[in-house]
Amino acid sequence: MKKTIITVVGKDTVGIIAKVCTFLADNQVNILDISQTIVQDYFNMMMIVDCNKSLKSAGQLDEEISILGNTIGVIIRMQHEDIFNSMHRI
């Protein structure tokens, strides 16, 4: 199964997770795992998600979620998990 990694980085504020999760739910993206920390007031979250049921392409989802990031004031990106697997796993 193809998995996608979503990272959210930026200044902490109310409702970041709620807004991101709503967006994902609206687009039939299933969340498999979430880890989140606050480093020096900075919100830092990683999600592992399954986009296979989404009707939108990876490029389209990435574009829309980064626009959502702009409205919240954080940087959001979606990347295929393989870039991390290839770099960190042998």
Residues binding other proteins (CB under 8 A): 5, 7, 33, 35, 37, 44, 46, 48, 58-59, 62, 77-89
Least gap, CB of 54 to other proteins (angstroms): 13
Smaller CB distance to other proteins: residue 35 or 40? 35
Q: Which is nearer to other proteins, 22 or 79 (CB)?
A: 79
- d(CA 27, CA 10) in angstroms, rounded, equals 23
At 27 the three-state DSSP class reads coil
**For tokens 């980085």, what's the residue?**
9
How many Å from the N-terminal Cα to the C-terminal Cα in the chain?
19
